[in-house]
């Protein structure tokens, strides 16, 4: 990756960090889940309103570092209108990208997150929202924590 691209990626992440998209609670969320990354102090709650099998609305609230907020923001943008199956498929792709740095096909804007791979201490900040997403889709009541997770 060239330095120019790295700068561009950082710009997108900074933008989503400063102005997170879909940053609000949903009243009628069919599923919600909480995620904690004690290593960094990131906390977030994800809200999903399903219409049948389709994610009609998705939002989050929380606090944490720039990477965790930007990832959650990008996640909500990417998943609005997607089916639950598509969301799970995207989770797999993004997880691979965050842990290996390889950018899979059809991840779109989420490719900006591939740079996180270079900062191992930040990988859990970026996977937090995605693990929380799975928990919300599965209706898990226990908060997600990255502490015992591999990434
Ligand atoms: Zn963090």
Do residues 78 and 90 touch, judged by C-beta distance below 8 A? yes
What's the confidence (pLDDT) of residue 148?
58
Rounded distance from Cα 125 to ligand 1 centre (Å): 4
Do residues 17 and 43 touch, judged by C-beta distance below 8 A? no
Do residues 131 and 35 touch, judged by C-beta distance below 8 A? yes
Instruction: Give Cβ neighbours of residue 1 (< 8 Å, ≥ 6 apart).
Output: 9, 114, 115
Cβ neighbours around 74 below 10 Å, total: 23
Phi and psi dihedrals of 45, rounded to 5?
-120, 130
Q: What is the mean pLDDT of residues 21-41?
A: 93
Query: Which pTM was predicted?
Result: 0.90
Instruction: Give Cβ neighbours of residue 4 (< 8 Å, ≥ 6 apart).
Output: none
Q: How far apart are CA 137 and CA 48, in angstroms?
A: 8
Rounded distance from Cα 102 to ligand 1 centre (Å): 21
Domains of the chain: 3-136 (3.90.1010.10)
Do residues 83 and 107 touch, judged by C-beta distance below 8 A? no
Rounded distance from Cα 52 to ligand 1 centre (Å): 33
Most confidently modeled of 5-9, 59-63, 134-138, 144-148?
Answer: 59-63
Rounded distance from Cα 63 to ligand 1 centre (Å): 9
Rounded distance from Cα 136 to ligand 1 centre (Å): 20
Give the model confidence (pLDDT) of 73-100 as tens digits. Answer: 999 999 999 999 999 999 999 999 999 9
Cα distances from 66 to residues 38, 55, 88, in angstroms, run 15, 25, 24
Give the model confidence (pLDDT) of 104-148 as tens digits. Answer: 888 988 999 998 988 888 999 999 999 999 999 998 778 888 875
Rounded distance from Cα 64 to ligand 1 centre (Å): 6
């Amino acid at each position: 990756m060239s330095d120019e691209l790295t700068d561009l990626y950082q710009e997108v992440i900074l933008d989503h960090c400063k102005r997170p998209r879909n940053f609000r609670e949903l009243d009628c969320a069919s599923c919600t889940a909480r995620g904690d990354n004690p290593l960094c102090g990131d906390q977030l709650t994800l809200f999903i309103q399903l219409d049948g099998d389709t994610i009609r609305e998705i939002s989050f609230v929380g606090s944490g570092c720039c990477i965790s907020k930007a990832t959650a923001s990008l996640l909500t943008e990417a998943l609005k209108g997607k089916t639950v199956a598509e969301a799970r498929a995207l989770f797999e792709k993004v997880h691979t990208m965050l842990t290996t740095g390889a950018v899979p096909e059809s991840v779109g804007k989420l490719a900006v997150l591939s740079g996180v791979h270079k900062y191992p201490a930040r990988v859990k900040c970026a996977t937090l929202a995605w693990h929380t997403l799975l928990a919300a889709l599965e209706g898990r009541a226990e908060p997600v924590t990255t502490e015992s997770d591999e990434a």
